[in-house]
Amino acid sequence: MQSHDPNVTLPLEALLSQRHATSTVSEAAPGNGPWPGPHRGRKQGQGLDFDELRQYIPGDDTRHIDWKVTARRNSTYTRLYREEKERLLTVGLDFRSSMFTGSQTLSAVTAGLLAANIIWQATDLSNRCNLLIQTDDKLHSLPPATGTTGALNACKLIADTFSAAISNRHNSAISDIEPLLKQLLANGRFTGSVVVISAGDELGPTFDQLMPVLSQSATVAWVLVEDPIEWQTMPTGRYGFRCRARAKQTRRQHDEFIRIDAAKAMQLTTVLEEYKQQLISQLQNGGAGTISIRNGMTNVFRQLYQWQVLA
C-alpha cells in the first residue's frame, strides 16, 4: 500500500474519513415527519410539523380545524403547522497556489479536510450541498446534491483538484478571489448559505464591491485558514524562501535565506497579527462572519451551527 504524508497530500481516503471525524454539535430542532425538507421553516404553512393551537380566525384553512378541541371548549380552534424546507449550502474552497504553503501542514490540506467534513455533516442533515473550488487558473464546481453520492462526488473533486493544483502551483500567477465571488452571485437562489474556506490572500480590487452584494442575499461564513506560525513566535534560526519575482526574471527557481533572531521573531508576529486583524475587518465590513481555524475544528462547527449555516 502506498503511504502518504498527511501534511502535504490530500488523498481521497482522507476526505472520506472526515465523515466521522467530528461529532455533530448541532442545536437544530429538525422535524420528525415525512415532509420534503428536514428543517423547521421560519413561517407557518402547509407542513406537517405541528406549531400551535389557537382560536379560529376567518380565513384560516377549515381543513385544519381541530374538532375535538372545538367540541370540548365550545369554541372553534384550528391547528397551525410549521412549513418545512430543505436547506441549501455552498462550500467555496480556495486551492490557489498561496494555499500550498505551511510550516507544519499545507493550508490547502487543512482547507480540503474541513470542506469534506462540512459536506459530510451537511449530508447527514439532509442538506443540499454545492461545491466551488478556485485554483489559480480555473473554477471547478459541482451542482447542488444530497445524499452519500453527492458527498462522494464532492470528495473526489476535492482530491482531484488538489492533485492538479499542487502540481501546477508554480506555473501560473496567483489570481484573486473574484471568480469565486462572481459565481456565488451568479448562482442566485441556488447558492443558499455560504462557507468560504480560505486564508484570505489576494482578495482582489473588486472584493469590497462584490462581498457586500453577496452577503445581502446569503449568510456568508468565512473560515480563515491560519498557519501556527502566524500566531506563535517563530523559533530563531536561518530560513529559506523562494523569491517568485526573481524566479520569473531568471526563468528558474531562486531560493534566498534570512536569519531570524528573537527581536525579528517578535516583530514578525506583531506584523502578522496586525495584518490578520485588517483582513478580518475587511471581511466583516463586507458582511461575512469570520471564524479562525486556530481555535480548532469543533469551534468552527459550533459557530456554523450558531449562525444556522449548518442546521
Res 3 pLDDT > 50:
yes
Res 272 pLDDT > 60:
yes
**Cβ-contact 187, 130 below 8 angstroms:** yes
> Residue type for 78, please?
T
The CB-side HSE value for 137 (13 A sphere, CA atoms) comes to: 10
Residue 147, CA distances (Å) to 63, 121, 151, 168 in order? 34, 11, 7, 32
pLDDT score recorded for residue 56: 86
> What whole-number distance in Å separates Cα of residue 240 and Cα of residue 229?
15
For the ranges 15-19, 105-109, 152-156, 230-234, which has the lowest average pLDDT? 230-234
Name all domains of the chain by residue range, CATH numbers in brackets. Answer: 12-25+86-306 (3.40.50.410), 39-85 (no CATH)
The mean pLDDT value for 160-173 works out to 85
The mean pLDDT value for 284-296 works out to 93
For residue 291, name the pLDDT band (cuts at 50, 70, 90). Answer: very high
> What whole-number distance in Å separates Cα of residue 174 and Cα of residue 168?
11
Question: Please, what sign has the CA dihedral across residues 53, 58, 64, 70?
Answer: positive
Res 126 pLDDT > 70:
yes
For residue 201, name the pLDDT band (cuts at 50, 70, 90). Answer: very high
> Residue type for 8, please?
V
For the ranges 46-50, 61-65, 181-185, which has the lowest average pLDDT? 46-50
C-alpha cell, 228? 501556527
Res 173 pLDDT > 80:
no
Residue 62, CA distances (Å) to 35, 49, 75, 183 in order? 21, 18, 14, 45
Res 248 pLDDT > 60:
no
